[in-house]
Chains A and B, each alone.
Chain A
Amino acid sequence: MRKKQCVAMLLAGGQGSRLGILTKNVAKPAVPYGGKYRIIDFPLSNCTNSGIDVVGVLTQYRPLELNAYIGSGSPWDLDLANGGVFILPPYHSGKTGEWYKGTANAIYQNIPFIAQWDPEYVLVLSGDHIYKMDYAAMLQSHIDNNADLTIAVREVPWAEAPRFGILNTDENNQITEFEEKPKNPKSNKASMGVYIFNWSKMRKYLEQDELNPNSENDFGKNIIPDMLADNQRLFTYTFDGYWKDVGTIESLWEANMDLLEMPMPIDLYDKKWRIYARNPGMPPHSVAEGAKVVDSLITEGCEVKGVVNHSVLFAGVTVETGAEITDAVIMPGAVIERGAVVRRTIVAENARICAGAVVGEETGNIAVIGPKAVIGPGEKVAAGVQVDADAQ
């Protein structure tokens, strides 16, 4: 292995339980987004575009689909002789093997993976967010500050600050205090869960943390407070671009709807910062005579014969004659039959809405039709309801 300046570790093991049936069988980073992407395309593409070409993906929960999706890493140019993307599941070694106990433990268990690249820095990412970020600029700021740890932050509205991990800093952006969900925040700098560590320091603190039986082995709860207590040099790096946590049904739906805004709040047309994705190899989509498509994103492989209004259609979706889709997110391979009405709903992969069914409502919570679920002819699904194929 040749030496690398910076190695990225992507924490992709979370269940994302707030996404309900959408993450029942897949890890959150594999959840589809934006017509042709999955959430993990964003951190992976950011790495490639930032010149970081070693990415360890730490998986634990339902990894099959995620592993298959990442494959050799070629869609992100991460299939390299010296570097590339590596899936890192938890493993057994003699008597000591175990699941990843926490974010810090996940990295701890992969110290040998990082060490083989002999890096100066380690970038820690999560697979939960939609954003375009230049990690190289953050790394430069880390180097300029002679920091031990740099935490990417965004300035959130003060009213929302109590929902986040908040970092209090001095005028040089050096962190003085870390508060998890403070009632009376002193700052509005919210942690994005994107960290750059000096590798030697990181290793030391991970090993020390592992020895503490009372630790939760978590970056936010243990490692960062430990480093602060030891007066290490911790800095913030402010990111002011589009950033969306897609951890809930509402926010996933909203993040999709954001792409229908004009101008798009996250510029996915940017040729200098492409977001790459695995391509399903389908022909262009077809719009039949009598169909109507307004304010929508339609992906290759779709067949549209009905009405699509303010919605995002993923690859290979069929919308039959007389069907009406409004404010909806329709994931790959789903079929909306004749005369069905779909409003404010996420229809998951390969689900089927049969003729005349009415799904979702004009107002209220977002309805979710789970993967492969079938809504029978003429059936009604109210706002906010989640339909699970396995329960049918």
Chain B
Amino acid sequence: MKDVMGLIYTGENDIHLGELTSLRAVAALPIAGRYRVIDFQLSSMVHSGIKRVGVITQKNYQSLMDHLGSGREWDLHGKVGLQILPPFLTRDGQGMYDGLLDSLKSNLNFLRLSSEEYIVLTNSHSIYNMDYTDAVKQHIETDADITVMYMQPSEAFDGEGFEGEADAHFTVGEDKVITAMEVGPSHPTCHCPSLKIYVARRERLLQLVEQSAANGYHHFGRDLIQRSVNNHSLKICGYEYKGYCCQMDSIQAYFNFNMSMNDPKVRAALFPAERPVYTKVRDDLPARYMGGQCSNSLIANGCIIEGTVINSVLFRGVKVAKGAVVKNSIVMQDAQIQEGAEIDHCILDKQSVIRRNGRLIAPAAYPIVIAKKVVI
């Protein structure tokens, strides 16, 4: 896919993730023991042959910039490569985006100065490992104005399918054209969740964004996609993605997703050997076990385990001391669980510490989040 560029919008509303995103964008949220959410979108783009990727940032983007650096880890440090697009103050804007459409308007220059024929535009809260090639191919074949990815609704999750709550749903016709769209209905009549991943010709998207802005629109999904579906002014097609996709849209979703990493089927869906997920490397040595006990858990490099770890995910450099018990928990990098301490159904953010003999037991339905660097 030589002639395709990528654009990742990281300005989503993330209030449902509470403390986890108070200091970072969803895109920079640590997941699966060593990754951040954006690693999955970036790696998917790179494996699809995309060489130019823009990352639109909004608030809290320091940790995201620190993570992305020059884009080297994703092989995006070349002449084209990765471009971070922070918000800026203009004559007619405060640098605060009122949604995706707004942010595209602010970054029209990046779109104009790029040379690729097509663009893949994705959100930064969906976790997947996909090849966009087919979607672009379908987009070209159907000659659509915009193609939106969607999935079939899934009953039970089994290594593939859609995890999470989509606010937009589609009905898609035989000819791939989206015939109806609903946003956040209480009794939906459309059933296919939107992935909010879009394919368009770059020039066409430029026109549409400029036009929408001229009309005073802000919301990409409602004002551009839904309006066009309703009045048939544009050809909006759907591309059905068959694979795994998880939405990182609440603390419970975050908890469940990480726990699902202990399911070999989910791991196989997200980490196929031929499409590795790249991330910033930390140069830790392998995890070290000294006594202790570990079961049904995902453990990253740099961990030192002397205590008990059950049904959990440990990020890089976590220490579980003698006699400590970590159960059903997600422990982010460099956090410590000291001697005799016990946690159950907790999410420990980076560098937090549970002091000796401390106990934090949360109910299964309501995991506790311990913020970054907090000592308990």
Interface string of A280-293 (1 = CB under 8 A from B): 11111111111111
CA distance A269 to B290 in the complex (A): 16
CA distance A324 to B58 in the complex (A): 51
Asked if B300 is at the interface of the complex by the 8 Å CB criterion, the answer is: yes
CA distance A290 to B296 in the complex (A): 8
For window 276-321 of B, CB contacts with A under 8 Å fall at 276-279, 281, 283, 285-301, 309, 313-315
Min C-beta distance of A178 to chain B, whole Å: 37
CA distance A35 to B267 in the complex (A): 22
Asked if A17 is at the interface of the complex by the 8 Å CB criterion, the answer is: no
A286 and B290 form a contact (CB under 8 A): no
Residues of A within 8 A of B72 (CB): 74
Min C-beta distance of B161 to chain A, whole Å: 20
A289 and B295 form a contact (CB under 8 A): yes
- What are the 9 A-B residue pairs with the smallest beta carbon separation, nearest first? A284-B33, A35-B286, A284-B300, A281-B276, A299-B286, A297-B286, A289-B296, A279-B281, A268-B285
* Between-chain CB contacts (< 8 Å), 17 pairs: A34-B285, A74-B72, A275-B283, A283-B261, A284-B34, A284-B299, A286-B267, A287-B294, A287-B299, A288-B295, A290-B295, A295-B289, A295-B290, A297-B287, A299-B287, A300-B286, A300-B301
B283 and A282 form a contact (CB under 8 A): no
CA distance A303 to B261 in the complex (A): 12
For chain A, which range describes its interface: under 10, 10 to 19, 20 to 34, or 35 or more residues?
Answer: 35 or more
For window 68-105 of A, CB contacts with B under 8 Å fall at 74-75
Min C-beta distance of A11 to chain B, whole Å: 25
Chain A contact surface mostly: loop
B299 and A269 form a contact (CB under 8 A): no
CA distance A308 to B299 in the complex (A): 15
Closest chain B residue, CB of each to CB of A281: B276
Known: A281-B276, A291-B295. A298 touches B289 (CB 8 A): yes
B295 and A285 form a contact (CB under 8 A): no
Apart from A36-B286, A286-B297, A299-B287, what are 12 other A-B pairs with CB-CB below 8 Å? A34-B285, A35-B286, A36-B301, A74-B72, A281-B279, A283-B267, A284-B315, A287-B297, A288-B296, A295-B291, A298-B286, A303-B264
CA distance A300 to B300 in the complex (A): 6
Min C-beta distance of B244 to chain A, whole Å: 14
Residue of B278, B287, B299 with highest tally of chain A CB at under 10 A = B287
Closest chain A residue, CB of each to CB of B43: A281
A281 and B277 form a contact (CB under 8 A): yes
For chain B, which range describes its interface: under 10, 10 to 19, 20 to 34, or 35 or more residues?
Answer: 35 or more
Residues of B within 8 A of A298 (CB): 286-287, 289, 299
A293 and B298 form a contact (CB under 8 A): no
Asked if A262 is at the interface of the complex by the 8 Å CB criterion, the answer is: yes
Closest chain B residue, CB of each to CB of A269: B285
Min C-beta distance of B335 to chain A, whole Å: 15
CA distance A326 to B339 in the complex (A): 28
Interface string of B248-285 (1 = CB under 8 A from A): 00000000000001101001001100001111010101
B294 and A297 form a contact (CB under 8 A): no
Asked if A166 is at the interface of the complex by the 8 Å CB criterion, the answer is: no
Partner of B295, one of A34, A287, A296: A287
Residues of A within 8 A of B294 (CB): 287, 291, 293
Residues of A within 8 A of B289 (CB): 293-298, 308
For window 171-205 of B, CB contacts with A under 8 Å fall at none
Asked if A274 is at the interface of the complex by the 8 Å CB criterion, the answer is: yes
Asked if B42 is at the interface of the complex by the 8 Å CB criterion, the answer is: no
Asked if A246 is at the interface of the complex by the 8 Å CB criterion, the answer is: no
Asked if B32 is at the interface of the complex by the 8 Å CB criterion, the answer is: yes
